[in-house]
Structure 1
């Protein structure tokens, strides 16, 4: 019996080695060198922008490093940019896709159609309908590498782009493209986008702020299949016994913007040009381009009080007269509460100095009532 066990030991040792190699295979494949190609930065960016029609399915992971201070009404946005988000995705198009957020507690499915989104919470059997709006709050589909990469490169100037080599991501050869914002007001140092060279699809996006080597956001595919998902997979109809709700979070700022009289926003603030967004209320101002953006929005009283307290609790908060401001990585927030006007919020990927400069150039959004 002992001799038989000794004879079997080498065989089991071989099995153990094979199992270990198989377990490490994804990491080994990812570490294999990838030969770069002499694709110019502008050409690679064009391939990214042309990838909007690429259909795919896969598994993605987003890691946020932004501790955004928000009230309970907007805590889902804070979680999205400060935690790790694991997502299964089936993408047939911008208005036809499904993203399941996977957590230890269960799954939440987000189904997009032409009129808006259904969010299906499996464990709570709750379906929430949100209409498509021009100022919808960020959601997990917005953090997919393909979606985010196209958005961040859409307005990048050719002089802001450089090539950064190649690597293998999700089993695919990817070429690197870096965008470095030229605006002095920008709090973003660089955005690195890794692009599948076969399809032009962004497969990883890394955003770095000016003052930290820790990414403010790192989102990547762990698995990717370029094929057309089944329409039945992305479609959604609430079950008969589901609890139905209507999303209200996105209406908080829109409501305040509508009830204020139109504001004469200046053409530029802090060196950033004003931009327009179809459907946005006239009481909301948008400035900047690319990854350097600034929004000015009136804040309802029920949100302003809680936000003021939350900002003030930050050890890095700066309170100056009627304003409080902080930086959360490359995102700056400044709440202004004039004595004779409505409170308003400035938020964007700009420096704190740029927020102060912008606030001094803006008209008051409305008188107290």
Structure 2
């Protein structure tokens, strides 16, 4: 072979190796792990304080009826999105949600949450609340995994084979709820072998073997991002506003005049004691429901949308099943309010919860 040809061959080989370098870790088999299911759960829970950054791909198949107040939830759980994530801690993070229709960024700085809508150049800040509608941050795998694994019993856990996620070796964990009330068949989590951070979560309902929600990290940097990445500064010309509540659920929790019972349908109420208001979150992990009081006008809109989606009218309200998600809008009554109940529980559990709310809800 001539020297010039040899040189070109070496150049081509080097170029091919450089091009393949980012892909090679993804093609390598995952390293075997002997970590137990219990220990893996502990590591996932303990990872809440870890900082990291990267990109996440989410996919949801729940076709939730849309109203103006709940449109974001329908888009979030029934569409495919790319999330760019900078996570310093549970109280300092930024999640940019990118879709074909546009980009919406969420920035949490302590007790303040700012929503930035790129196309309209509008920033809206609100007090952060744990009682709220789901948003893009809830589909970050580490967050979703910890929420669904909360309260898991050792007998419900088993190991899954390791796999590569974002180029990292990730041992797997399966949660199969023992609760008969749950409509979740199993939750599969793959966590980074080095840090314990959940990198992928698949949620499978009892009616199908396909995940109804799947979220996975596609690019991962385990180092804590710079503080500037989780600080929002409005660009020149942006419209900036402030709201007293993040969304309809946070507003109802803070301002609606209702006092809810400590348990419904055998499920205990949970949440931060400082945020226990007129919205009730009951149950744990894969067996949970939320009860949100609605204003009369909004309740009418929701009932119309449910009725247009093959909902069933019963003695306690208007009910609809959307995959593993059960939804029920109560009939309401003088002094008792109208509540929207939704959760990964059976319709019978929601009906029992609605009846108990009707009997026990008070006013403050």
Same structural fold, with TM-score higher than 0.5 when normalized by the shorter chain: yes
Query: Does the CA-based 8 Å contact 1:344-1:365 persist in structure 2?
Result: no
Q: Aligned to 2:82, which of 86, 91, 105?
A: 86
Q: Displacement, 1:242?
A: 1.2
Number of residue pairs the alignment of both structures matches: 353
State yes or no: 1:119 paired with 2:89.
no
Q: Displacement, 1:345?
A: 1.6
CA RMSD of aligned residues (A): 2.9
Query: Does the CA-based 8 Å contact 2:141-2:198 persist in structure 1?
Result: yes
State yes or no: 1:357 paired with 2:349.
no
Q: Could you tell me which residue of structure 2 aligns to residue 336 of structure 1?
A: 330
Q: Displacement, 1:238?
A: 1.7
Deviates more, 1:335-344 or 1:38-47: 335-344
Q: Aligned to 2:213, which of 210, 217, 231?
A: 217
State yes or no: 1:96 paired with 2:92.
yes
Measured in 2, the distance between the counterparts of 1:183 and 1:325 equals: 21
Q: Aligned to 1:241, which of 237, 261, 265?
A: 237
Aligned to 2:63, the other structure's residue is in SS state: coil
Per-residue deviation, residues 5-55 of structure 1 (Å, max 9, x unmatched): xxx9xx99x979x979958974x7545432432211110011111112221
Structure 2 gap segments, 5+ residues each: none
Q: Displacement, 1:366?
A: 6.6
Q: Displacement, 1:143?
A: 0.7
Query: Does the CA-based 8 Å contact 2:149-2:175 persist in structure 1?
Result: yes
Task: Please give the residue correspondences for 1:166-315 in structure 2 after superposition, counting only pairs within 5 Å.
Answer: 166-247=162-243, 250-257=246-253, 258-263=255-260, 265=261, 267-315=262-310
Per-residue deviation, residues 296-331 of structure 1 (Å, max 9, x unmatched): 22211121011101111113x221245111111211
Aligned to 2:143, the other structure's residue is in SS state: helix
Q: Aligned to 2:155, which of 159, 163, 168?
A: 159
Measured in 2, the distance between the counterparts of 1:24 and 1:200 equals: 25
Q: Could you tell me which residue of structure 2 aligns to residue 4 of structure 1?
A: none
Query: Does the CA-based 8 Å contact 1:167-1:173 persist in structure 2?
Result: yes
Query: Does the CA-based 8 Å contact 2:127-2:245 persist in structure 1?
Result: no
Q: Aligned to 1:141, which of 137, 144, 169?
A: 137
Q: Could you tell me which residue of structure 2 aligns to residue 36 of structure 1?
A: 32
Residues 253/57 of structure 1: CA separation in 2 closer, same or farther (3 Å cut): closer
Query: Does the CA-based 8 Å contact 1:342-1:367 persist in structure 2?
Result: no
Q: What is the TM-score when the length of structure 1 is the normalising length?
A: 0.86
Residues 367/275 of structure 1: CA separation in 2 closer, same or farther (3 Å cut): closer
Task: Please give the residue correspondences for 1:309-328 in structure 2 after superposition, counting only pairs within 5 Å.
Answer: 309-315=304-310, 317-321=311-315, 323-328=317-322
Measured in 2, the distance between the counterparts of 1:364 and 1:240 equals: 53
Q: What is the TM-score when the length of structure 2 is the normalising length?
A: 0.87
Measured in 1, the distance between the counterparts of 2:151 and 2:316 equals: 34
Residues 254/91 of structure 1: CA separation in 2 closer, same or farther (3 Å cut): closer
Structure 1 gap segments, 5+ residues each: 1-7
Residues 366/41 of structure 1: CA separation in 2 closer, same or farther (3 Å cut): closer
Measured in 2, the distance between the counterparts of 1:288 and 1:366 equals: 18
Measured in 1, the distance between the counterparts of 2:60 and 2:54 equals: 20
Query: Does the CA-based 8 Å contact 2:140-2:215 persist in structure 1?
Result: yes
